[in-house]
């Protein structure tokens, strides 16, 4: 009986490993290379790991310089054991929900090989557990107007805890200068982008609002505008850069947590029009029927915002 139970356990663990490591229909492969900083120091926020992904050919072409995409929620971007914590936190659940990782390196590699986008550097910024809401909720819209918001989402974070202004200082005054100094980047606004999903979409849009001279474009997937009944959108009516120097991508699904997002996104679309943006020119909003609120859903459509921001 003991041997039988042991055999069953071995078979089960092997099956879990198989599910965990295999995804049907995935033909993408990862080119390029990684540099990992753990932790990356900061005077503004808690130090955290940062990945820098370099496209294939970076080392072979020393005269070439590259655009940079800064992405939030770095733990979820690359399906590789960059740090033991990456697997410890998320890998056991990967098979269960259809994949916890965006696989940004694989999708970037494919788009570059197919010459759909310019080769670019990706900087992935890890979030701090239990601090994500505090760092990603736009600070001025939440703290400078009366919103009635008592806490951020399902967390214990209150508006008084929000430190997203410091998070953006970390990004613009510490991380970007370091990346520009240590890698061959195109440092100007037109080649500096920011991207995230859910509250990562909120902080990406906030980066455009607060630092319009640094960031030339943002991709905001499944942006959770609902906090404070869209208080951030109302703020942007008078605190959004005029059209002419930026490219903005928004999207949302229709299932699970994304289900109530459409009316909020339409309000943000009106803000875009009021500031002179032209849909399908310097601004895009896309609705994905049947898509839910998950890394798998974002991975499946990631090529669209990447092509919009980096397309040849």
Cis peptide leading into 39, omega within 30 of 0? yes
- Encode pLDDT of 101-136 as tens digits: 999 999 999 999 999 999 999 999 999 988 999 999
* 157: pLDDT strictly greater than 90: no
Contact residues for 5 (Cβ-Cβ < 8 A; gap 6+) = none
Confidence of residue 30 (pLDDT cuts 50, 70, 90): confident
Confidence of residue 3 (pLDDT cuts 50, 70, 90): low
Tally the residues of the chain: 312
Interatomic CA distance for residues 123 and 114, integer angstroms: 22
The CA-atom distances, in angstroms, between 302 and each of 98, 255, 261, 308 are 16, 18, 19, 10
* 12: pLDDT strictly greater than 90: no
Average pLDDT of the segment spanning 148-153: 66
* 66: pLDDT strictly greater than 80: yes
- Residue 18 maps to a domain: no
DSSP string, 166-212: HHHHIIIIIIHHHHHHHS-B--SGGGEEEEEETHHHHHHHHHHHH-T
pLDDT at 143: 77
Interatomic CA distance for residues 210 and 165, integer angstroms: 9
For the CA atoms of the chain, what is the radius of gyration?
A: 20
- Residue 19 maps to a domain: no
- Encode pLDDT of 247-267 as tens digits: 999 999 999 999 999 999 999
* 165: pLDDT strictly greater than 60: yes
Residue-range definition of the domain harbouring residue 232: 26-310
- Encode pLDDT of 187-224 as tens digits: 999 999 999 999 999 999 999 999 999 999 999 999 99
Interatomic CA distance for residues 167 and 45, integer angstroms: 6
Residue whose tokens read 């971007």: 77
Interatomic CA distance for residues 130 and 73, integer angstroms: 13
Confidence of residue 228 (pLDDT cuts 50, 70, 90): confident
Tell me how many domains the chain contains. Answer: 1
- Residue 303 maps to a domain: yes
- Residue 5 maps to a domain: no
Mean pLDDT in the chain?
87
Lowest mean pLDDT among 125-134, 141-150, 232-241: 141-150
Q: Look up the CATH number of the domain holding residue 85.
A: 3.40.50.1820
- Residue 272 maps to a domain: yes
- Residue 3 maps to a domain: no
- Residue 4 maps to a domain: no
């Amino acid at each position: 009986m003991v041997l039988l139970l042991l055999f069953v356990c071995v078979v089960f663990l092997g099956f879990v490993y198989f599910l965990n490591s295999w995804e049907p229909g995935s033909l993408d492969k990862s080119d390029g290379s990684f540099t990992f900083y753990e932790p990356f120091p900061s005077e503004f926020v808690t130090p955290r790991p940062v990945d820098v992904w370099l496209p294939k050919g970076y080392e072979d072409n020393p005269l070439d310089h590259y655009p940079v995409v800064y992405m939030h929620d770095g733990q979820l971007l690359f399906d590789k054991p960059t740090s033991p914590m990456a697997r410890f936190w998320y890998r056991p659940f990967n098979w269960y929900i259809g994949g916890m990782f965006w696989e940004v390196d694989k999708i970037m590699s494919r788009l570059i090989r197919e010459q759909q986008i310019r080769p670019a550097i990706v900087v992935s910024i890890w979030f701090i557990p239990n601090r994500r809401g505090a760092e990603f909720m736009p600070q001025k819209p939440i703290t400078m107007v009366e919103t009635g918001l008592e806490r951020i989402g399902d967390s214990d974070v209150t508006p008084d805890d929000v430190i997203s202004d410091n998070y953006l200082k970390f990004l613009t005054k510490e991380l970007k200068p370091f990346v520009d100094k240590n890698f061959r980047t195109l440092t100007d606004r037109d080649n500096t982008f920011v991207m995230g999903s859910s509250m990562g979409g909120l902080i990406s849009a906030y980066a455009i609002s607060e630092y319009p001279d640094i960031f030339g474009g943002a991709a905001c997937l499944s942006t959770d505008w609902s906090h404070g009944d869209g208080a951030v959108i109302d703020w942007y009516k008078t605190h959004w850069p005029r059209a002419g120097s930026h490219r903005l991508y928004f999207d949302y699904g229709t299932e699970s947590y994304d289900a109530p997002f459409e009316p909020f996104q339409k309000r943000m679309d009106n803000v875009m029009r009021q500031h002179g943006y032209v849909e399908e020119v310097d601004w895009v909003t896309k609705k994905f029927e049947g898509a839910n609120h998950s890394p798998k859903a974002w991975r499946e459509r990631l090529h669209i915002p990447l092509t919009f921001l980096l397309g040849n």
